[in-house]
């Protein structure tokens, strides 16, 4: 009998091992009783990055897209194609290391981690359904999750065949019907697959980075250049706005203050500070977004200390961290 039970456990153990990590992720992010569900993990796994010595309260998980959900017909999944030809780094007023630092800072703002967490998955109380990956992509809103999954399938990822049956539901924003306290069974199944794909398959990381390069970095960069901006801190401000509030976020805030950018004869530093202050006021005017002003305060502090080039070490106020 003992031998029979030993054979039985040997048979099912590989299945438990394969699913265990992803299931723990799902439990952590969806179980109201899980102690860490509503908190960012602050993990310094890159030797070039370190937490500052002074502790700060851990921040709650936040949505990355702030626009109200659009009807599914308004944003069918489209092939990835930038509106304009991608701007080569060689023609920019900053370099790849500046871009790396900007992306690290955004990772800290979005997930509280120094390195991209491609398998992070949760459902927040924001009516956007599943929030997923290194950049907190959502099913609702601008539906970057749809595009990531479609690109992952195109790349032939390990879990492509498992994700494919869910694509029609993603295109219809069906996960937006779920809340943290009431997640449908099929949504939990999809979350488990997405967690495993992000944790185990480099092609999911590639899909996420490609979508955000095309759908967010390039549009933010084009607006940055059109306004005549030149500093890495101003590019951080533009990219943060685009990821956090969508591609129209910059244009919305620009209407709220009189200062003009360098392209219209204005001063870059004065415009950037005015923009951040206006955006902070807008966030504070919406109750559910008030908890996100920490990212604005961090960028205002960088401006106050004169670190327009994002020279390392870059001190981030909340979550308190140092990028070096």
pTM here is 0.71
Residue-number span of the structural domain to which 162 is assigned = 38-45+55-323
Q: Looking at the domain assignment, is residue 27 inside a domain?
A: no
Chain segment 22-31, per-residue pLDDT in tens = 445 554 444 4
Is 3 within a domain? Answer: no
- Alpha helices by DSSP H, listed for the chain, are 2-30, 96-111, 144-155, 160-163, 167-171, 185-200, 202-212, 218-226, 232-245, 249-254, 268-284, 293-304
**How many domains is the chain built from?**
1
Strongest mean pLDDT among 110-119, 136-145, 151-160: 151-160
pLDDT of amino acid 26: 53
Q: Does 21 fall in a domain? A: no
- Over residues 270-277, mean pLDDT: 98
User: Does residue 4 sit within a domain?
Assistant: no
CATH number at residue 263: 1.20.141.10
Confidence (pLDDT) at 89: 52
pLDDT, tens digit, for every residue of 168-191? 999 999 999 999 999 999 999 999
Q: What mean pLDDT do residues 210-238 have?
A: 95
pLDDT value at residue 111: 77
Question: Domain for residue 6, yes or no?
Answer: no
| Mean of per-residue pLDDT scores for the chain | 77
300 assigned to some structural domain: yes
Q: Is residue 254 part of a domain?
A: yes
Q: What is the pLDDT of residues 48-97, one digit of tens each?
A: 222 222 233 333 333 333 333 333 333 333 444 444 455 555 457 778 89
User: Measured on CA atoms in the order 201, 203, 204, 208, is the torsion positive or negative?
Assistant: positive
Interval 191-201 mean pLDDT: 97
Q: Is position 197 within any domain?
A: yes
Q: Which residue has the tokens 């310094």?
A: 44
Residue 211 CB coordination number (10 Å): 24
């Amino acid at each position: 009998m003992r031998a029979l039970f030993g054979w039985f456990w040997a048979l099912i153990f590989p299945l438990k091992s394969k699913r265990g990590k992803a299931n723990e992720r799902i439990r952590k992010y969806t179980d109201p009783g899980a102690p860490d569900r509503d908190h960012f993990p602050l993990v310094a796994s890159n030797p070039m990055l370190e937490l500052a010595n002074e502790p700060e309260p851990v921040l709650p998980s936040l949505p990355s897209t702030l626009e109200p959900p659009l009807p599914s017909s308004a944003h069918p999944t489209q092939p990835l194609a930038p509106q304009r030809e991608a701007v080569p780094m060689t023609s920019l007023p900053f370099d790849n290391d500046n871009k790396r630092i900007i992306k690290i800072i955004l990772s800290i703002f979005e997930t509280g981690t120094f390195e991209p967490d491609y398998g992070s998955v949760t459902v927040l109380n924001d009516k956007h359904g599943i929030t997923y990956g290194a950049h907190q992509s959502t099913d609702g809103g601008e539906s970057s999750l749809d595009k990531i999954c479609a690109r992952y399938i195109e790349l032939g990822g390990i879990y492509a065949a498992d994700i494919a049956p869910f694509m029609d539901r993603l295109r219809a924003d069906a996960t937006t019907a779920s809340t943290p306290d009431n997640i449908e069974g099929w949504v939990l199944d999809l979350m488990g697959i997405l967690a495993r794909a992000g944790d185990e398959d480099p092609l999911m990381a590639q899909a996420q980075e490609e979508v955000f390069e095309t759908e967010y970095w390039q549009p933010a960069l084009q607006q940055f250049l059109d306004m005549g901006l030149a500093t890495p801190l101003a590019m951080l401000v533009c990219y943060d706005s685009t990821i956090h509030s969508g591609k129209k976020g910059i244009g919305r805030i620009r209407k709220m203050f009189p200062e003009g950018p360098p392209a219209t004869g204005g001063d870059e530093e004065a415009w950037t500070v005015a923009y951040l202050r206006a955006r902070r006021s807008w966030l504070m005017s919406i109750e559910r977004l008030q908890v996100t002003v920490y990212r604005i305060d961090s960028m205002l502090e960088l401006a106050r200390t004169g670190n327009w080039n994002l020279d390392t070490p870059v001190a981030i106020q909340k979550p308190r961290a140092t990028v070096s």
